Amino acid sequence: MSFFDRLSERIDAVDSVVSVGLDPDPDRLPEQVQGAELPRWAFNRRIIDATHEHAACYKPNAAFYEDPDGWRALAETVAYAHGKNVPVLLDAKRADIGNTARQYATALDTVDAITVNPYLGGDSLQPFLDRTSKGVFVLCRTSNPGSGDLQELELAGGEQVYERVASLASTWNTGGNVGLVVGATAPAELETVRELVGDLPFLVPGVGTQGGDERAAVEYGLGDGVGLVNSSRGIIFAGEAATGHDDPARYFGAAGEAAKRLRRRLNRFR
């Protein structure tokens, strides 16, 4: 069964396209988990408990797990999310060549999907694309202010680089497992990319803390109803603003409420 078929079932089951970004910034973990053996895992477990009924997907960003305890925390997190029937997309933005790309692709042994960077070209992504039961989201138009430095350069034929990446990604999609990353902070580009690639599912980051356009994220991000709209800090650290936030129930309850509210807002546009 393909990743997008499984994701489609999950979206139907929870009536949600919300991706919850699991970015346990060590500087922001609440005191309640800091005494745990693996604080990031203790944090993620409670976030998953609080949010899984509203989550189509969990998206841990690899940057927050790159140390010995981090990889253990990530492995526990993935297993726990799977126990709640939620797929896991590793936001790794990886790209390398030859035997090194093959090594990076082994990350797909444990997670359901991954994000990759297209700068090195199609052959660098082949070891990921070959895993046809897994999802491969290619960075296309990112949500940061400097994304235009390369992505918006105009090519000799008139298209911009990110448009060419979208078209290339379509040609790389022989296994039916390719998606695109297009930020909600660029609603016009979301529409442009959607017109270029038919029904490819998008992962749309940039709503929440980054202030992206939720309507455009849903309207253009879903391909045949399948896609993901991600919020990370806006959900997992929602408890920082909660009254009585040193009470674990309130702190993590606020994350659950934030995920639920985002689901409701996004569902108005589905």
Catalytic residue positions, numbered = 93
- Does residue 85 belong to the site contacting a copy of itself (CB under 8 A)? no
The yes or no reply on residue 117 touching a copy of itself (CB under 8 A) is: yes
CB nearer to a copy of itself: pick between 57 and 125 = 125
Cβ distance to a copy of itself smaller for residue 132 or 144: 144
Among 72, 82, 260, 261, the residue binding a copy of itself under the rule CB under 8 A is 72
Q: What CA–CA distance (Å, rounded) separates 248 from 135?
A: 34
Q: How many residues sit close enough to a copy of itself to count as binding (CB under 8 A)?
A: 55
What six digits make up the tokens of 245? 């936030």
Amino acid of residue 267:
N
Site for a copy of itself in 12-51 (CB under 8 A): 23, 25
67 binds a copy of itself (CB under 8 A): yes
Q: Does 150 bind a copy of itself (CB under 8 A)?
A: yes
Provide the token pair at 184: 């909600």
Among 76, 148, 191, 269, binds a copy of itself (CB under 8 A): 148
**Cα–Cα distances in angstroms (integers) from residue 189 to residues 38, 167, 251, 253, in the given order:** 40, 14, 36, 35
The partner residues of 115 in beta bridges, in order of sequence, read 137
Report the side by side order of strands in the sheet with 178-182: 57-60, 18-22, 228-231, 202-204, 178-182, 135-141, 113-116, 89-94
CA–CA distance from 180 to each of 28, 70, 166, 183 (Å)?
A: 30, 27, 7, 10
Nearer to a copy of itself, 156 or 241 (CB): 156
Q: Closest by alpha carbon to 39, among 8, 3, 76, 10? A: 76
What does the alpha-carbon distance between residue 106 and residue 176 come to, in Å, rounded to a whole number? 19
Residues 197-236: x where in contact with a copy of itself by CB under 8 A, - otherwise, as a string? -------------x----------------------x---
Interaction between residue 165 and a copy of itself (CB under 8 A): yes
Q: SS3 for 228? A: strand
Q: What are phi and psi of 93, to 5 degrees?
A: 50, 40
132 — phi, psi (to 5°)? -70, -15
Contact call for residue 77 and a copy of itself (CB under 8 A) = no
User: Smallest distance, Å, CB 20 to a copy of itself?
Assistant: 15
Q: Which of 53, 96, 130, 219 binds a copy of itself (CB under 8 A)?
A: 96
Per rule CB under 8 A, is residue 107 in the interface with a copy of itself? yes
Query: What are the residues binding a copy of itself (CB under 8 A)?
Result: 23, 25, 61, 63-64, 66-72, 75, 93-101, 103-104, 107, 117-124, 139, 142-151, 153-156, 158, 161, 164-165, 168, 210, 233
